[in-house]
Structure 1
Amino acid sequence: MAYFDVGKIVNTHGIHGEVKVMASTDFPSERFAVGQVVYVNDGQKPPVKLTIKTHRQHKQLELLTFDEINDINEAEKYKGAQLQITQEQQEPLAEGTYYYREIIGLKVFSLQEEYLGTISEVMQTGANDVWVVRRENGKEILLPVIQDVIKEVDLAQGQIIVDWLEGLEEQ
């Protein structure tokens, strides 16, 4: 079964088994809603199924408790572990939108078929995402994810075609 990361347990919170989670999903309020199932993967054994008991936000973190974890001692062993979902749990996305895991690793080409590099990271900026393109020389290009720049995303071919606008210089 394929699992996909939706967050990382960064610490415990209090003595009742609550954990602090750094979300890596675009849909934290839906993904971490009460009653939702996630899997905790600490890399040592098969992922453990957990049912979300409570969810609240605190600063940039999600605070969660689970039906299966009752105190800090049980929660402590999962510090640093990934929270994951199965492929069947993924929500279908609107046309023209993608999961980060689908974008990271794609090769980027200009309209003139010049190879620019590979997507290494997705940054959220508020107005639009920015895709970080790692060049072969190690430098980076920041591509705003807007229609004027991103012309085609071809997941089957593993590539993105961009309109290399003047001003999108290497960092």
Structure 2
Amino acid sequence: MSSSCGPQHAPVGDVGVALMMIDSRLRGIHEGKAGTDPEQQVLIDQLTASLGPEGADDVLDGVCTLVLMFMTWLRKAHEEQNKDVIEYVVPNLVATMRMMPRSVRPETIPTMAGLVIAAGTGLSPSLWRKQYGYWTEEEMTPLEVTAFLLAEHINRITDDPDFATRLISEALASSEEDC
């Protein structure tokens, strides 16, 4: 039975900008920087400021698409090991977010966990969230953190610091070839 929250009903959003933001954070961490490279952050800030409300919504949908794609990959990887992705990914994600109280307010953690569970069960994170109203300002950083942590988890599983970014880049490239 098809759900109204199925990914086929969801906007894809601007996955390219969303991926650039997550990749920038990943590179910053791997280069030993606590945050984003200041020059890179200026570029990201300029880009997001130029987007306008529709563009910002597209980036939000793009980040949700990343969460769905990352969880789809993780679900398949866990199923190969006869493991449940929700059981192995969500507690780790929640525990990590709890250690980040300046970036992820405690009251946003249940929403992010629900978002990841929705994606892990094949639902669109974007449509799942929109059932409960529009995104709040307090959820913006936790959403980015969620996508970042999922990408980093994939990179650790594969022992390849660029795997998650490459996974999405290759999917984007193949979808463009199909058009």
**TM-score above 0.5, yes or no:** no
TM-score w.r.t. the length of structure 1 is 0.29
Identify, as 1 or 2, the structure richer in strand: 1
Identify, as 1 or 2, the structure richer in helix: 2
Which structure would you say has the larger Rg?
1
TM-score w.r.t. the length of structure 2 is 0.28
Does 1 or 2 have the higher relative contact order (CA < 8 Å, sep 6+)? 2
